[in-house]
């Protein structure tokens, strides 16, 4: 996640302040946080400021603040995970997720917290073997589609025809997998 102030650096400081019942929160980079503190716009103390979100998570407790931060999405009360029986309130209270299925059941509710922690919410990298073939195929299809467009634009119709055939074979294999 990028700093909300400069929009350039990665946000590493998460600030939350409640005045007269109105909560303001900021995700800032170290530099902007220091500038704002000097200007007196924000007051950095242990209750409302943490420079390293992970240190506290390991010590327990902080995730509650993460989950508990005002979420843009509406939380559906009483919804339960079908595998472990946890409710979203349980996740907030425990500061941890109940089971793999919870990520699916509470996907919408968790999305903001996950973005806040990692700055993104989609995985890049290693894939379990059972899905590896499918992923490689998808990657190949995406690359071929791009090449195909280029070939058509450059009027290399023979190449384009070969690519179209290859794409069909790949897509058929995907449907039969």
List of residues contacting other proteins (CB under 8 A): 9-10, 12, 29-30, 51-55, 57, 63, 83-84, 86, 94-100, 103-104, 107, 110, 113-114, 117-131
Least separation in angstroms between CB 12 and other proteins: 5
Least separation in angstroms between CB 166 and other proteins: 24
DSSP the chain: -B-TTTSSSBP-EEEEEEETTEEEEEEE-HHHHHHHHHHTSS---TTTEES-HHHHHHHSSHHHHHHHS--SSPP-TT-B-TTT--BHHHHHHHTS---TTHHHHTHHHHHHHHHHHHS-----S---HHHHHHHHHHHHHHHHHHHHHHHHHTT-HHHHHHHHHHHHHHHHHHHH-
The residue among 126 and 153 lying less far from other proteins, judged by its C-beta, is 126
Least separation in angstroms between CB 161 and other proteins: 32
The residue among 23 and 120 lying less far from other proteins, judged by its C-beta, is 120
Least separation in angstroms between CB 19 and other proteins: 28
The residue among 41 and 104 lying less far from other proteins, judged by its C-beta, is 104
């Amino acid at each position: 996640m990028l700093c909300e102030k400069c929009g350039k650096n990665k946000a590493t400081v998460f600030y939350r302040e409640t005045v007269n019942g109105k909560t303001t929160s900021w995700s800032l980079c170290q530099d902007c946080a220091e500038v704002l503190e000097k200007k007196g716009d924000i007051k950095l103390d242990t209750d409302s400021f943490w420079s390293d979100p992970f240190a506290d998570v390991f010590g327990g407790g902080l995730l509650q603040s993460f989950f508990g931060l005002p979420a843009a999405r509406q939380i559906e009360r009483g919804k339960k995970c079908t595998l472990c029986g946890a409710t979203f309130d349980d996740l907030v209270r425990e500061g941890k997720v109940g089971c793999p299925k919870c990520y699916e059941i509470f996907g919408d509710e968790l999305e903001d917290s996950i973005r806040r922690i990692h700055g993104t919410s989609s995985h890049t990298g290693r894939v379990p073997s059972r899905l590896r073939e499918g992923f490689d195929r998808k990657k190949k299809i995406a690359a071929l589609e791009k090449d195909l467009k280029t070939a058509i634009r450059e009027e290399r119709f023979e190449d384009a025809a070969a690519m179209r055939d290859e794409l069909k074979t790949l897509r058929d294999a995907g449907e039969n997998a």
